[in-house]
Amino acid sequence: MLCSHSEMKTMSTDKTPITVYAEATPNPESLKFVTNKLLVRAHSFDFDSLENSKKSPLATELFEMGFVKRVFIANNFITITKTEDKMWVEVIPALRKFIKDFLESGKRMFAEDISYEDSNYAVDDDDDEIVVKIKELLEQNIKPAVEMDGGAIDFNSYEEGVVTLTMKGACSGCPSATVTLKSGIEALLKRMVPQVTEVVAHEG
């Protein structure tokens, strides 16, 4: 799906100063950089390499810093995953300044023809009753908590009792993601949807 022209704008006509602060996530290699500005609406963008970031100037410039492994953009935050050879204390000031300067410059965060994947929580006409219930539980009970941790967990598929979810942002590669998946999400879905037997992750 393509984003509309209006969704691509990153700056309003006023010159409200941008503030950026860093928040820890459950993934020690990922930090959530929160801004006082809404960056995207209703969906998110997950870039896992420099090559795949070409339609986001902001993500491309972050990857070009050399120590950035992943960039996830949603709502009013940017989750950055770094390489293990760098300490956060070394790079946080530069990252905060870069994000602030980029947003205040008025430059576009995305190319106009960038496509995005829906969160997959939207109910389709061909979804059966089980899938509808799973999507509703994910959106209402899981999505808000996961976004607080700087990531996203999207519905991928349901087949013969197995729910497959896509891990994004800080959730991708997080040491505690498996625990969250099994003790949190799987337990919830099994309790609320008896037909669910297992929840597995597909790395996005």
Superfamily of domain 6-105: Scaffold protein Nfu/NifU, N-terminal domain (3.30.1370.70)
Give the burial class of 184: count Cβ atoms within 10 A of its Cβ; 0-12 exposed, 13-18 middle, 19 or more buried: middle
pLDDT band for 6, please (50, 70, 90 cuts): very low
State which fold the 129-203 domain adopts.
GMP Synthetase; Chain A, domain 3 (3.30.300)
pLDDT band for 7, please (50, 70, 90 cuts): very low
Task: Starting at the earlier edge strand, list the strands of the sheet with 162-169.
Answer: 151-159, 162-169, 198-203
For residues 36-40, give the mean pLDDT.
92
Backbone φ, ψ for residue 54 (5° rounding):
-60, -25
Backbone φ, ψ for residue 158 (5° rounding):
-135, 125
Look up the pTM and report it. Answer: 0.76
For residues 178-189, give the mean pLDDT.
81
Q: pLDDT tens digits for 10-24?
A: 444 457 899 999 999
Q: Where in the chain is the domain with CATH 3.30.300.130?
A: 129-203
For residues 65-70, give the mean pLDDT.
96
Give Dmax over CA atoms of the chain in angstroms.
53
Cα separation of 80 and 45, whole Å? 12
Q: Tokens standing for 87? A: 């300490």
